[in-house]
Structure 1
C-alpha cells in the first residue's frame, strides 16, 4: 500500500496580540516546510533534471505569432472571463506563474514570454517583469528562492541536455520548445474531467458525452452540437455539467431548475461551436470537446493536496475548504492546521487510490483533488488537478504559521488591488512583519494603472482570520484601510 507521509507536530508559541499598526517593520523571511525541488527529489534518482516552465506574456498588445492552424492541445476560449478583452489574459497568466513558482525552491524556473519583440518599450517591460519576480521571491529564505529566467525565444533557453520540463498544462508552443518530464498527451488526458469519469475511481455517477468521429459528421457541425446537447436537455434535475478541459469553476454548470438548464445550454452551445471547429482527425482521440454530466452531491467539497513521487508514493500536504465567488468561480481556500491529522486519516485511502491511478498512467508530481461525502457516507472524488493548485502552498506553510501561533490560514485570489505594491506593503506592514500576510503573486498592467494579486493570510483562529480577510476585502473594494472591519 502506498505510504502517506505525515508532517510531524510542531511546537506552538503563545499567540501575539493582533495589531494593525501601519508603521514600517522589517520583513521576516518565509521558510516553507518543503519545496517542489524537495518533493521531486523524493524516490527519484535524477531529481536535478526537472525544470518548471510557465507562460509569462509581458507585452501588450502582443505581436502576431505564427501559431499552427491545427493545434493539438485545445482549451476552451469562451469561458466567462477567459476571453476578456485587453490585457487581462496576460495578467492572469503571469499571476498563475508567480503563485505556482513561489513554491519551486531551487528547481529552475522558465518564464516563457513569446508576446513579441517589437516596440521601444520592450526593455522597460522586461525590467518591470524581473522586478515583479525579484520582489516576490525576496520574501522567501535565500536557500528557497527560485532561480527564474525569462525566456523570449528558443535561443534563450539555457539548460543541461538532460533537463525535462514540467508544465501546468501542455501547450503546443511550449512542447515544441522543451523536452518534457511527462508525456504531454497523458498529462492532457489526466487533467480532463473525462478521465476522472472513466477512470474507475470513486466518483459521483457520471455520463460522458463525446463528439462522434469527425469523418462521421455527415449532417454538419451544427447537427453534432445539437446531438451532444440533447443529453443535457433530457437529464433530470439536479445535476452538474462539466466541460472536460477546464479549471477554477469555469465550464462547470450546476443545474437545479429549468432556468439553469437554459443558461447552461446557451453557454455550452457557444463552447461546442468554438471547440468543434478545431477538432480534427489528428487531435480527436484526445477528446478536447467532450463534457461530463454528473450527479449533484450536496455538501461541501474539501480540497486535498498531495504529491505523487516518481515511484508512486503519496505525500500528504493539506486539506482545505474552498472559497468561491457568487458566480461559482474558485477564488481561494482556508486551512485549519490543527485539524490536518484528522483530515489526513479521513482521506488516506482516497489519496492512495488516486495516487495509484495517476502513477499507473505515468504521472508523478503535485496533485489537488476535490473530495465530497455522498449520502451513503462514501468519499467521492469530484475533481482532480494533477498540477500545483491555487491552495497547494497552504500545506507548505504550516510551520511558518504554526510557530507564530497562527493555526488558521487562507489564500485570497482574484484581488484587484487599488494601490501600488509598495503602498500596500506599507499599509499592511505589521501584518507582513508578524508573518500574517504573504504576497504570492502581484502583477501590474503595462500602463501601471491596475494591480492584481494573490495573498495568503494567517490568524490564531477562524474568527480572527475572518477579520483580517474582511480588512483586505474592504480595502480592495473601497481603497480604504477599514480598521473597524477587525471588530
Structure 2
C-alpha cells in the first residue's frame, strides 16, 4: 500500500445548517447560534461530567437491552467502563461530528463533549479527530469546534452565543438555563411517539396507553427491606429500579402499571407495532408480526432481569411525569408498503415548509436505522409526491413554536383506506396513481440523512446522481481506510463525515475505528456496487 499523501478535494456544501436557520426566521438572523448535536443516554452517565438524563428519558439500545445489574455496576464504578466508553464514542463524537460537518461557518460554535474529560491526551485526541473530519470543508464552511467536559460547562457568554440549537434534549441544559432556539419540553413532546399518534397527521391508527401517576419516591430508604438493600447497592448517580421483590407501595404501583400495558398488548391482535414513548437510534420499536412475536414481546417487557417496562417505569417521577415518559403506543402495521422514504425539510417561522430531500431508508433485520440513499435525479418528482404530507407536518410542529430541520419516515402503500385518513391527508397522486402515505416516525431535529441534500452539488458536478451515508466500524485507522479507498477519496466519490480511532481497552493496542461515510455513484447500480464492497470490508454500526 502506498504512503503518498492522499489529495482530497475541497468540499463545498450547497448550504449549511446556519444558513437554514437564518432562512427559517429572518427576524433572528443576526443572532449567533451555537449547536449542541450530541446524543444522550438515560440508563448510564456517558462520562463523569455527562450525567444520564433523568427528566428527558430516551430509550435506546443500552436502555432497553442491558440488564439492570450491569447498569448499576457501571454507574458505581469510579472509572469509565467499556460499556460507557462504547456509548460515549458514538454519542459524543460520531453523531456530533456528522452533524457538525454541515453546521457551517467559522463563526458558528459547535459544542463537543470530551469522551474522557480530565485526560489531556484523550481531550487532544477528541479534538484531532473532529478537526481532521471538517478539514476537507472549504474554510468559510468549517464550524468553530468548542470542547467542554459536560453540558453544564458550555461557555455560552464567553462565546457570545445568543441561542443554542439542540438535537437531543439534555437535562443539564435546562438546569443551567441556557437560551435555546426551542423550549426543551416542547421539542421533546414533538419527538414523542404519543405526540405523533395524537397529532392528527396521516399516521397509522394507534392507541396510546398512558401511565397513571409516578413511582412513589424512596424517601429516606422507606418502602420495604428489598428496596432499602437496593438503595444501598445503587449508590449516588446510579439508575434506580423498583426491585422485582418489592412488596411496598413502589412495587404495587409498578405491577399495576405493567399489568395495564401488558393487558392491552395481550388483547391486541397481530400484526401491530409496539413503541415506547421516546426513542433514539431505532430502538424502542417492536414489530409484532404474529402471535409468537407477541409472546416474545410480553416476555421482553416483563422479564425481571432485563424487562423494558421495569426499567422504564422505574424512571417515571414527579419531576418528569408531565411529559408522560412511560406511555407506550400500539399502532396498526402498514401492510404491503411499496416505498420507504426519509423526507427532510426545513420548518420556517409560521409553519411553512422548505423541501430539502427524500431519501430511501436502509433498515437492518433488527429494525435499526443503518443509513440512507438518495437519488438526486428524482428529487423534483419526490418533492411533488410529498408536498402535502410535508406541509401538514410543518404546520403542526410550527404551531408549537418549532423552527429548524425535520425528518419524517414515510411508508407508502397502494391501498387507499376509506376510513383511516381524513380525506386528502396523506394521499399522493404525483405519479399518476393514487397512493396512501403514512408517517411512521417523526424526527423534529437534525436527521442522519440531512447531509445528503447539502452535498448534491458536490456529487452531481462529478457526474454522480446518487449518494448514500452509513456508519461503519473496522479494525484499522482513518489513514488505512482512506488508503484502501484512495481513488474514491481523491475523486470525491467518498468522504468521511465522522471518524474516531480508539485503542483504549484493547490489550493488543490495535486501533479500532468507528466512522460515518458518504459515497456517491453515477447511478443506483454503481452506488450499490461500491456500498457492497465497502460493507464487505467493514461492519455496520447501530445505535
Band the TM-score falls in, shorter-chain normalisation: 0.7 to 0.9
Q: Report the CA distance between 1:62 and its aligned residue.
A: 6.9
**Structure 2 partner of 1:416:** 473
Deviations 1:157-208 (A, max 9, x none): 1545661112211111233343211111001101111100011111111111
CA RMSD, aligned part only?
2.7
Give the structure 2 partner of residue 224 of structure 1. 257
What's the counterpart of residue 200 of structure 2?
200
SS in 2 for 1:45: helix
Tell me, what secondary structure is at the counterpart of 2:133? Answer: helix
Alpha carbons of 1:362 and 1:274: their partners in 2 closer, same or farther (altered >3 Å)? Answer: same
Partner of 1:140: 137
Offset of 1:268 from its aligned partner?
Answer: 2.9
Contact kept in structure 2, 1:324 and 1:331, CA below 8 Å: yes
How far apart are 1:337 and its partner, in Å?
0.6
- Pick from 430, 434, 441 the counterpart of residue 383 of structure 1: 441
TM-score (norm 2): 0.78
Q: Distance in 2 between matches of 1:132 and 1:66?
A: 20
Query: Residue 378 of structure 1 aligns to a residue in which SS?
Result: strand
Residue in structure 1 matched with residue 109 of structure 2 by the alignment: 108
Q: Which moved more, 1:151-160 or 1:332-341?
A: 151-160
Deviation at 1:44, TM superposition (A): 2.1
Tell me the residue number matched to 2:425: none
Partner of 1:284: 321
- Relative CO higher for 1 or 2, CA cutoff 8 Å, sep ≥ 6? 1
Q: Relative to structure 1, is the Cα distance of residues 240 and 63 closer, same or farther in structure 2, using a 3 angstrom cutoff?
A: closer
Which TM-score applies when normalising by structure 1? 0.86
Mapped pair 1:275 → 2:312: yes
**CA distance in structure 1 between the aligned counterparts of 2:446 and 2:462, rounded to whole angstroms:** 26
Q: Residue in 2 aligned with 1:46?
A: 28
Query: Which of 354, 361, 370 is matched with 2:400 structurally?
Result: 361
1:66 Cα shift?
Answer: 9.2
Deviation (angstroms), 1:54: 3.5
Equivalent in 376, 386, 400 of residue 347 of structure 1: 386
Aligned with 2:280 (options 241, 244, 247): 247
Counterpart in 1 of 2:155? Answer: 157
Q: Using a 3 Å threshold, how does the CA distance of structure 1 residues 215 and 151 change in structure 2: closer, same or farther?
A: closer
Q: Measure how far apart 1:114 and its partner are.
A: 8.1
Indicate the residue corresponding to 2:94 in structure 1. Answer: 95
The runs of 5 or more residues in structure 2 that have no matched partner are 72-81, 217-248, 417-434
Give the aligned partner of residue 246 of structure 2.
none
Does the CA contact (< 8 Å) of 1:79 and 1:251 recur in 2? yes
- Counterpart check, 1:370 vs 2:409: yes
What is the distance in 2 between the residues matched to 1:258 and 1:357? 36
2:515 aligned residue: 453
- CA–CA distance in structure 2, aligned partners of residues 419 and 114 of structure 1: 20
CA contact (8 A) 1:239 1:294 kept: yes
Are 1:79 and 2:49 counterparts? no
Work out the number of aligned pairs and report it.
Answer: 451
CA distance in 2, matches of 1:247, 1:156: 24
- TM-superposed CA distance for 1:444, in Å, is 2.2
CA offset digits 1:56-98 (Å, max 9, x no partner): 89xx997645959x93212235234797825210111121111
5+ long unaligned stretches in structure 1: 1-19, 479-487
Residue 355 of structure 1 aligns to a residue whose secondary structure is helix
